Amino acid sequence: MGIKKVIGRDIISKSKIIHKNQLIFSGLRPYLNKVFILEDYNQAIASAEFFVCEPKNILLPFLKYYLLSEATLRQTKWILSGSNYPRLDEEDFLNLKVVIPEDIEEQKRILKLLNKEKEKFDRLKQKAEEKRKESKVTFEKLLMKELT
CATH number at residue 65: 3.90.220.20
Same domain, 95 and 39: yes
**Residues forming a β-bridge with 50:** 26
The last residue of a domain, from among 100, 119, 134: 100
Same domain, 53 and 109: no
Q: Is residue 7 part of a domain?
A: no
| CA-based nearest residue to 64, from 23, 101, 28, 110 | 23
* HSE-CB for 108 with a 13 A CA cutoff: 4
Distance CA 146, CA 127 (A): 29
Distance CA 34, CA 8 (A): 27
Q: What is the full per-residue pLDDT of the chain (148 aa) written as tens digits?
A: 688 888 877 778 888 889 999 999 999 998 899 999 999 999 999 988 999 988 888 999 999 999 999 999 999 888 887 777 888 988 999 999 999 999 999 999 999 999 999 999 999 999 999 999 999 999 998 888 876 6
Same domain, 77 and 127: no
